[in-house]
Amino acid sequence: MSMANQSPSPLAIRLTDIHKSFGPVRANRGASIEVVRGEIHALVGENGAGKSTLMRVLSGMYAPDSGRMEVNGREVTGWSTADAIAAGVGMVHQHFMLVPTLTVAENMMLGRELTRSGQVDVARAARETAELSRTTGLAVRPERKVSDLSVGEAQRVEILKTLYRGATVLILDEPTAVLSPPEIRELWHVLRGMRERGETIVLITHKLGEVMEISDTITVMRQGRTVDRLRTVDTTPGEIARAMVGRDVQLAAQFTAEELERTSPPRTLADAAPLLEVRDLVVDDARGLTAVNGVTFSVHPGEILGIAGVEGNGQTELLEALAGLRRARSGTIHVARTDVTSRPVKERGDLGLSHIPEDRHARGLVLDYSVAENLVLGQQHRFTRGVRLDQQEILANARRQIERFDIRPDDPGLAARALSGGNQQKVVIAREMGRDFQVLLAAQPTRGVDVGAIEFIHARLRDARQAGKAILLVSADLGEILALSNRVAVMYGGRLVTIVPRADATEEVLGPYMTGAAGQPGANAA
């Protein structure tokens, strides 16, 4: 009964030798992929390997410079997004493309509005949404406003919207980045159901655990080229990682609790007075609603405290309050035993607070400034002669940091915008960790950076712990939290719902806290 038998070609997708450049950036240079109908295909590679570009070419967003595209055996090279949708190829992007002020049903029909006697027929869209939600298992309520949805729900709407438009080839770009472990399991369940109905799924990811768990076949890309095709059952995470990076890498998941113990700080340091102390902190979000609701914790010298949790549970506001970017409504923050609760950013920096912000594009870097200028951002008052900036010292500093943190290319005059994600993050890391500091706020320190850079950044964080710094690590990647932290806290609904030593922290223990199933007043303890 398989669909493949009814068609001359079992291939849903065949892209051959695709080239696509953006100015000097050659995103794809000889990329190929073959996806069999009715399979879950993982497209893996480091950040910047060209995975998203290749899939955007497939979905008609970009026209390839050269190469050949076939979908269901039909030549479609350089088609438009409208053609792609009509042929049943739909892509769910990393950044959602929904209108927040409209309801789920209204978003579903946006672009192909159903009408009845000239009026938009929302009721019918809602009925059809509910029907599709039932058959796919993607639970959504059509009448809810998108702005009221959690990230996981919004993603379900995105997937439903693509299916609603008749997609039989579904491309998902890093879908699990914003999901909690239970939500991820639910997504896998839905994808397997779709596979059984004969639909084809391409999953863009760089998380090897996911690849092993869900995919049937794997295409590995590196530097714009396809370097390997693997059958999931015949391979190992190590082999995939090697293909992605081009050399052996130590995977974060390979760090065990014993290894962590071995690299733990001497007891004397951990017993010393905390360098970061937060008491009963309450912080409002941009809309004036309580985002951080009475948080108390401390971080000792030589310790990494990891805060796990699904994004949007107050982590952003907590970090902004600690960094001095957002006013605390009540509570206190002490850095190096000094009350900094109402001190400005600069004074906190002078006390030894470093901050790797979660969004390097909005906060961490001035993208049109040079690497050298970005390496002094926040420290500009230390690089002056009178009112003038000391250009020579700024340049010398840049040369030192570029060398120390292996920033590539090693051109201090290059605009930060021109660097790859991993090297941009290295600029931020170099600036924040390459100077004297006591306390480090590290928010999503490896988001969107490649495997090699992750390894590097993790090593720097361990070095800093070894040197007696106090580090607060916030990450949506539970694997990263478990690989680095001495203690693990979970943030949910603006509270730290649990703090446990690393040895007691497992995905099974933390999962219920991350979804609010445990640790909430009124919820049953797990």
Partner 1 sequence: MKARLEEAILPVVVALLIAAVVGDALILSFGQNPGAVYRLLFEGTWGNAYGLGQVLYKTTTLTFTGLAVAVGLRAGLFNIGAESQLAAGGFVAALVGLTLPTGLPSLLTLPVYLVAAAAGGAAVGGVAGVLKAKAGAHEVITTIMLNFIVLALLNYFIVADLKVEGTLHTQPIHAGALPRLSDVAAAFHGSAANLVLLLAVAAALMTWWFLFRTKRGFELRATGLQPGAAEYGGVDVGAVWWRAMALSGALAGIGGLNFVLGYKHYYEDSFGAGAGFLGIAVAIVGRNHPLGVVLAALVFATMSQGGLAVNAMVPKQIFDVLQAVVIIAVAASVPEVRRVLRRTAAA
**Residue 343 binds to partner 1 (criterion: CB under 8 A):** no
**Residue 22 binds to partner 1 (criterion: CB under 8 A):** yes
Helices 421-433 and 391-404, axial angle in degrees (round to 10): 110
Nearer to partner 1, 378 or 479 (CB): 378
**373, 450, 477, 480: which one binds partner 1 (CB under 8 A):** 373
Please spell the DSSP secondary structure of 125-146, one letter per residue: HHHHHHHHHHHH-----TTSBG
Q: How far is the CB of 190 from partner 1 (least distance, A)?
A: 36
The edge-to-edge listing of strands for the beta sheet with 290-299 is: 290-299, 276-284, 328-335, 338-339
Q: How far is the CB of 263 from partner 1 (least distance, A)?
A: 30
Could you tell me which stretch among 15-23, 184-192, 215-223, 486-494 binds partner 1 (CB under 8 A)? 15-23
Give residues 387-416 in contact with partner 1 (rule: CB under 8 A). 387-389, 391, 413
**Residue 366 binds to partner 1 (criterion: CB under 8 A):** yes
Nearer to partner 1, 266 or 344 (CB): 344
**355, 447, 460, 495: which one binds partner 1 (CB under 8 A):** 355
- Our CA dihedral for 322, 324, 326, 332, rounded to 10 degrees, sits at 50
Q: How far is the CB of 392 from partner 1 (least distance, A)?
A: 12
Cβ neighbour number for residue 7 with a 10 Å cutoff: 12
Cis peptide before 100 (omega within 30 of 0): no
**42, 138, 321, 323: which one binds partner 1 (CB under 8 A):** 323
CA–CA separation, 48 vs 422, rounded Å?
9
**1, 233, 289, 362: which one binds partner 1 (CB under 8 A):** 362
Nearest to 439 by CA among 351, 313, 339: 351
Residue 503 φ then ψ, to 5°: -60, -30
Q: How far is the CB of 205 from partner 1 (least distance, A)?
A: 29
Cβ neighbour number for residue 417 with a 10 Å cutoff: 13
Q: How far is the CB of 377 from partner 1 (least distance, A)?
A: 4
**Residue 384 binds to partner 1 (criterion: CB under 8 A):** yes
- In contact, 69 and 58? CB cutoff 8 Å: yes
What lies within 8 Å, CB to CB, of 256 at 6+ separation is: none
Could you tell me which stretch among 327-335, 362-370, 446-454, 474-482 binds partner 1 (CB under 8 A)? 362-370
Nearer to partner 1, 114 or 367 (CB): 367
CA–CA separation, 375 vs 371, rounded Å?
6
Q: The tokens of 17 are what?
A: 């030798």
**223, 329, 369, 406: which one binds partner 1 (CB under 8 A):** 369
Q: How far is the CB of 365 from partner 1 (least distance, A)?
A: 6
Q: How far is the CB of 57 from partner 1 (least distance, A)?
A: 16
CA–CA separation, 526 vs 524, rounded Å?
6
**130, 345, 396, 500: which one binds partner 1 (CB under 8 A):** 345
Nearer to partner 1, 411 or 455 (CB): 411
Q: How far is the CB of 309 from partner 1 (least distance, A)?
A: 22
**Residue 48 binds to partner 1 (criterion: CB under 8 A):** no
**2, 5, 8, 23: which one binds partner 1 (CB under 8 A):** 23
According to DSSP, the β-strands at 115-116 and 119-120 are antiparallel
Q: How far is the CB of 298 from partner 1 (least distance, A)?
A: 24
Give the DSSP H/E element, type plus range, for residue 34: strand 25-36
**Residue 325 binds to partner 1 (criterion: CB under 8 A):** yes
Residue 204 φ then ψ, to 5°: -85, 125
Q: How far is the CB of 394 from partner 1 (least distance, A)?
A: 10
**Residue 267 binds to partner 1 (criterion: CB under 8 A):** no
**Residue 66 binds to partner 1 (criterion: CB under 8 A):** no
First to last CA, the chain: 44
- In contact, 343 and 324? CB cutoff 8 Å: yes
Nearest to 505 by CA among 255, 206, 186: 255
Give the DSSP H/E element, type plus range, for residue 227: strand 225-231
Could you tell me which stretch among 126-134, 255-263, 354-362, 497-505 binds partner 1 (CB under 8 A)? 354-362
CA–CA separation, 498 vs 513, rounded Å?
7
Could you tell me which stretch among 7-15, 80-88, 192-200, 384-392 binds partner 1 (CB under 8 A)? 384-392
Longest dimension (CA), the chain: 79
State the sign of the Cα–Cα–Cα–Cα dihedral 424, 428, 434, 435: positive
**Residue 105 binds to partner 1 (criterion: CB under 8 A):** no
Nearer to partner 1, 174 or 320 (CB): 320
Which residues of the shown chain bind partner 1 in the complex (CB under 8 A)? 21-24, 26, 323, 325, 344-346, 349, 355, 357, 359, 362-369, 373, 377-378, 380-381, 383-384, 387-389, 391, 413
